[in-house]
Chain A
Amino acid sequence: MPFGPVHPSLKEPEYFKLILEGEKIVQVVPRIGYVHRGIERAAQERTWVKNIYLFERICGICSFAHSLGYTQGVEALTGFEVPRRAKYIRVVVAELERIHSHLLWLGLVGHWAGFDTLFMWVWKDREHVLDISESITGNRVHKSYSTFGGVRKDLPDDIAAKLKPELAYVKKRAAYYSDLVQSEETMAVRTKGVGTIDQDTARALCPVGPLLRCTGIGRDVRKEDPYAAYDEIMPEVQTRTEGDIASLLSLRLAEVLDSCRIIEEAMEKMPSGSFKTPVPRTVPSGESAFHVEAPRGELFYFVKSGGRSGPERVKIRTPTMANILTATEMLKGRTLADVPVVLTGMDPCFGCMDRVAVLDVDKSKEWSVSGEELRQLGIDYYGRGRR
């Protein structure tokens, strides 16, 4: 049975071929590449600054994590020190984004499990977080906030007073939801023991982020390789051992609470001073690799500079790319009814993940296709269809 590329429960096009025996899933074959946008290639044509805004558009949810990964990667190349205040502000915005991403996911789980009320409630509460984001950065989603040498503008004066009640509200709601998803009977039977993954499978398939932490392996880039101000404000790495969807729910909600704490701490310790140091427009040639903990897990940026006005090569590895194999593994042996809930467990972002490779499996040959060839391919394909 086809699951996608156009399916009511998939918000982005991706194709999963499900081989079923009755309702039971025997095999899952994912096929990616429906929304490949060629962003890595496009980045090579643009200047360093323009690329910040391009990379933000990779993901509509963790856009700040992308710009953070890229700007910090480039900062590592130039060797410029970012002011402490900017580092703190970056932490605040990154954690706000984590809260909003996790809440968005929680709502989607509700929707995919057929519990639309949860979806509506959570997304309504998420608006509070987006409002704070807007008052800090000027935008709700694509924040365009992190830039080379700091952040684009300073925190507004009244932000501390604004943040306090909103964070208290978010904390209250997150505690309520983590109680709700456990006590609500229909929600509990849909998530407990569903899509279980053990540590050995996790080690073999290398998932990242919450999907890895829910098996008991407490890896978090913020803790292991602190960037921005995470060396001064330590996140508490949340782990669960059950490895099912229910543990993902409680884990992500615990992370929301922890993010609230981090923001509060960062606001308290917020150093004064400049929020941006001027940086030169040229980047010396060299290579740098940088990773950040996006809401969905480790986000990896490799930047290579040839001394031009733009990057020579940027390689991005998004968390969904790392998680998709694990998700298909989690599906095996489950029933069709579990597909939406399990697939959503990794918080998929197919648009971020899509890659295309042209290859001939029989001849084990791989090659590149030029734009002109692609165009001709399309003309031939649709021309045949019309006749």
Chain B
Amino acid sequence: MNGLQVVELLLFPGLTFFVWLGFVFDWLDRKTSARMQGRRGPVVTGPFGILQPVADFFKLSSKEEIIPEEADSFVLRWGPALYFAAPAIGIAFIPVVGPLGILAHPLDLLFMLFVLSFSTLMAAMLGYASGGRFSTIAVGRLVVQYTSYEVPLLISMVTPAILAGSLSIGGVVAAQASIWYVFLLPVAFGIFVVSSLAELEKPPFDIPSAKTEIVGGWMTEFSGNTLAYVKLTKSLSYVFLSALAVSLYLGGPGGPVLSSDVFVQGALYGAYFLAKLFAVGFLIFAIRTALARVRIDQAARLFWTVVTPLSLAQLAFAIILR
């Protein structure tokens, strides 16, 4: 790893860039749903309230941290770091300003599968470690939900890889130079978005963090700094999954080449990427605003009887197409 890569990893287009994107996503999410609901959303902090998520983060991290007696204080204190690590590593493989991600590897799509599972595993661990009754029930729900959405999510990630004949994100992006897979595999794209909603615990699948039922879900016992980081991780995952959708189905940063200059073209790629990312983001914001929460048994039934067979059909279609 050379010096440039370290800078890329930490600043642009690595961690710092994606964390800020996470804040922007949070703001856009709140703003979009507010507009759809006839409200104004954040307006005070920064222009159009864009700094509100940042202010929220710093305010929360400066608050008192309370660790319950029955909780495993070591896990509660340091677990969020591992939880944060999952999407923080994942984003390093997403191509943003060029055809390849910073840590691109021929098999990095497989690693993405691991990162997604790891993130849920960490959430379950944090929930159990905090020891409250609400958290315990939430983790039960989280695991049930995980077993139902994981299969379609994995299949909908593997489907484009089969079509592209490559297990690397860069390879899938390169194979979409002529046509984006969202046009070839629209159903698989839909399944990816739906499963992402479940992974992100957004309505209609916000079952493990259903506020009106189990208070804060598995995050109930978290407070102060650790809660700030858990929430930051959630918005980072938001961006990470949207970025994966862009890479696998919308051709990543690909678009018309307008300049021979590396930096100018790099900036153009970045702009293409951001435009697509926000498009996917708006799709997710709209879905989550327009739907009510389903019950856990209804979610499991939906995933096993409708979504999984559909994703298998789409997989078969991809194999035939290839």
Contacts and interface: CB of A to CB of B under 8 A. Distances in A.
B42 to A, nearest CB: 15
B288 to A, nearest CB: 10
A113 B292 contact: yes
Interface residues of B, number: 30
Residue with the highest number of chain A CB atoms closer than 10 Å, among B140, B292, B295, B296 = B292
Contacts of B133: 1-2
A190 B292 contact: yes
B39 interface: yes
A337 B207 contact: yes
Interface stretch (B69-77, B99-107, B120-128, B211-219): B211-219
A121 B292 contact: no
Interface string A288-321: 0000000000000000000000000000000000
A117 B289 contact: yes
B206 A114 contact: yes
Contacts of B293: 113-115, 186, 190, 337
A186 B294 contact: yes
B290 interface: yes
B250 to A, nearest CB: 27
A336 B291 contact: no
B147 interface: no
A231 interface: no
A191 to B, nearest CB: 9
A124 B35 CA distance: 13
Interface string A115-152: 11110110010000000000000000000000000000
Interface string B286-314: 00011111111110000000000000000
A110 B292 contact: yes
Nearest to A113: B292
Nearest to B294: A186
Q: Which secondary structure dominates where chain B touches chain A? A: helix
B267 interface: no
Interface residues of A, number: 31
A335 B295 contact: yes
A47 interface: no
Given A117-B33, A121-B38, A124-B38, A337 B137 contact: no
Contacts of A118: 292
Interface string A20-32: 1011000000000
A124 B133 CA distance: 36
A158 interface: no
Contacts of B214: 336
B253 to A, nearest CB: 33
Interface in B96-139: 133-134, 137
A118 B39 CA distance: 12
Given A114-B212, A121-B38, A124-B38, A189 B298 contact: yes
A124 B295 CA distance: 27
Contacts of A22: 140
Contacts of B207: 337
B142 to A, nearest CB: 13
Contacts of A187: 292
Given A2-B133, A117-B289, A190 B294 contact: yes
Interface string A330-345: 0000011111100000
A23 B212 contact: no
A118 B292 CA distance: 9
A9 B38 contact: no
A2 B297 CA distance: 22
A336 B37 contact: no
B187 interface: no
A273 to B, nearest CB: 42
A111 interface: yes
Nearest to B298: A189
Residue with the highest number of chain A CB atoms closer than 10 Å, among B203, B212, B293, B295 = B212
Contacts of A337: 207, 210, 213, 293, 295-296
Given A8-B211, A340-B213, A23 B296 contact: yes
Contact of A189 (B37, B289, B294): B294
B79 interface: no
B290 A7 contact: no
A110 B134 CA distance: 22
Contacts of B290: 117
Interface in A73-127: 110-118, 120-121, 124
A372 interface: no
Nearest to B203: A114
B213 A339 contact: yes
A339 B210 CA distance: 12
A335 B297 contact: yes
B279 interface: no
B295 A338 contact: yes
A336 B33 contact: no
A111 B213 CA distance: 11
A360 interface: no
B260 to A, nearest CB: 48
A184 interface: yes
A220 B291 CA distance: 34
Residue with the highest number of chain A CB atoms closer than 10 Å, among B203, B206, B210, B215 = B210
A56 to B, nearest CB: 29
12 contacts: A1-B134, A23-B140, A114-B293, A117-B33, A117-B289, A189-B294, A189-B295, A335-B296, A336-B137, A337-B210, A338-B295, A340-B212
Given A116-B33, A117-B36, A337-B295, 6 more contacts: A7-B215, A186-B293, A186-B294, A337-B293, A339-B213, A340-B213
CB-based closest 7 A-B pairs: A114-B293, A115-B292, A9-B212, A120-B37, A186-B292, A340-B212, A337-B295
Interface of A: 1-2, 7-9, 20, 22-23, 110-118, 120-121, 124, 184, 186-187, 189-190, 335-340
